[in-house]
Amino acid sequence: MSMRNVLVRMRRVPGHTVAIFAIVAGGIIVGGATAAAHPEPSLLVPKSAVGTKPTPHILDFAQDLRGERLKLPAGPRRVPVPWNVDGCDHDYGTVNQCVPWTVPASVGQRCQWLAAHGFSPLKVRGRDRQNLDSNHDGMACDKGDVGE
């Protein structure tokens, strides 16, 4: 019997509506109670296999290959990285300090610009590439340096 036929009969005979409702409601209640019960969990493997190490999964597709094995080319051991790759001149300041590699061209006094941006005085750690240590005392942009 289709759902349409059930609905047509419910309209014709109102007493059947109550009976059908009771059957449907009872099925929902009983079915809900059954669905709420949790079945006992079961393992798909035997209990004797629990806790043992699994066998390795070996892919044997390459065992029948014939011919000479090719060796990988020897790559560079060290990749050259430019000293200023991060835009910092590491010859000035502290290890964690990033002194700009170039000062804007429009700036007349480089030491004044660096001081305005919090870079004064600076210890010269290597080569004085920017000529900021004019008196060669090991400190750039301190008293006595011109900083042009």
Q: How many domains does the chain fold into? A: 2
Residues with Cβ < 8 Å from 145, sequence gap 6 or more?
111, 132, 133, 134, 135, 139
Q: Is residue 109 part of a domain?
A: yes
pLDDT at site 138: 92
Q: pLDDT-based confidence at 3, cuts 50/70/90?
A: low
Domain assignment present for 44: no
Same structural domain for residues 90 and 148? yes
Query: Hey, what are 148's tokens?
Result: 């042009």
Question: How is 36-96 classified by DSSP, letter by letter?
Answer: HSPPPP--SS-GGGTTSPPPP----TTTT--SPPPPPPP--SS----TTTTSB-TTBS-TT
Domain-located, residue 131: yes
Q: What is the mean pLDDT of residues 50-69?
A: 83
pLDDT tens, 20-36? Answer: 665 655 555 555 445 55
Whether 130 is in a domain gets the answer yes
Least confident window among 5-9, 58-62, 106-110: 5-9
State how far the Cα of 127 lies from the Cα of 123, in Å rounded to an integer: 11
- Give 102-141 as a DSSP string: S--TT-S-HHHHHHHTT--SEEB-S--TT---TT-SSEET
Residue 135 lies in a domain: yes
Q: DSSP letter for 3, please.
A: H
Residue 68 has pLDDT above 90, yes or no: no
Q: Answer yes or no: is pLDDT of 137 > 70.
A: yes
Any domain includes 53? no
Place 123 in a pLDDT band, splitting at 50, 70 and 90: very high
Of the listed ranges 30-34, 51-55, 122-126, the one predicted with least confidence = 30-34
What count of residues does the chain have?
148
* Domain span including residue 108: 86-148
Percent above pLDDT 90 for the chain: 8
Tell whether the model's pLDDT for residue 78 goes beyond 90. Answer: no
Axis-axis angle for helices 14-36, 3-12 (nearest 10): 130
On whether residue 31 sits in a domain, the answer given is: yes
Contact yes or no for 109/148 (Cβ under 8 A)? yes
Residue 124 pLDDT level (bands cut at 50, 70, 90):
very high
